[in-house]
Amino acid sequence: HLKKTSLIFKKLDYNNNGFLSLTELYDGFERLNMFSFRPAISQAFSLAKGSSEGLVDSREFKTFLRALV
């Protein structure tokens, strides 16, 4: 699961800065035609980012995924 999670993170991180913004997550889910997931994405993002400045790193991304499901 670690390799898949890492691959998904890299695909979503389209600016390659090693972090995911809420916009990158929205865009990624929209590419999968999952527009209705925005409220859940926003909530999971808030839980995962903790006290960081609006970005989720690869470790926090795992928390994001767990919160999303």
Give the model's pLDDT for residue 35: 72
What's the gap between Cα 33 and its chain centre? 16
- Give the pLDDT of residue 52: 66
d(CA 28, CA 8): 10
pTM for this prediction: 0.86
- Helix, strand, or coil (residue 56): strand
pLDDT of residue 11: 92
Query: What span, in angstroms and rounded, lies between the C-alpha atoms of 1 and 61?
Result: 13
Q: Which amino acid is at 44?
A: A
Structure tokens at 9: 């993170």
Tokens of 44: 């999971």
pLDDT per residue of the chain (69 residues) written in tens, 0 to 9 = 778 999 999 999 999 999 999 999 999 989 888 777 889 999 999 999 876 678 999 999 999 999 988
The residue type of 60 is: E
